[in-house]
Amino acid sequence: MPRNARPSAYVAGMGTAMPGGPLSQSEIWHGYFAPRLDGDPVAERIFRSAGVQRRHAAVNPLVEDVSHWSTERRMRRYLAEGLPLGKEAVGSALDDAGLRPDEVGLLAVISCTGYTTPGLDIHVAADLGMATDVQRLIVGHMGCYAAIPGLGAVADYVVARGRPAVALCLELTSLHLQPLTDRDGRIDRGQVVSHALFGDAAAAVVVAPGAPSAGALEVVDVAALTDPATTDHMTWDVTDLGFRMGLSPEVPAVLARHVRGMVTGLLDRHGLSIADVDGWAVHPGGPRILSTVAERLELPDGALDPSYAVLAERGNCSSATVLLVLDALRAAGRPRPGRPAMAMAFGPGLTLYTLLLRGS
- Which residues are part of the catalytic machinery? 144
Q: How far is CA 353 from CA 16, 95, 207, 270, 309, in A?
A: 22, 28, 19, 17, 21
What does R_g of the chain's alpha carbons equal in angstroms? 20
Quick one: which of 235, 316, 245, 287 has its CA closest to 46? 287
Q: How far is CA 118 from CA 135, 138, 224, 333, in A?
A: 14, 11, 30, 39
CA angle 249, 250, 253 (to 5 degrees): 130
Quick one: which of 135, 142, 79 has its CA closest to 107? 135
Q: Which residues contact 8 (CB under 8 A, 6 or more apart)?
A: 159, 209, 212, 218, 219
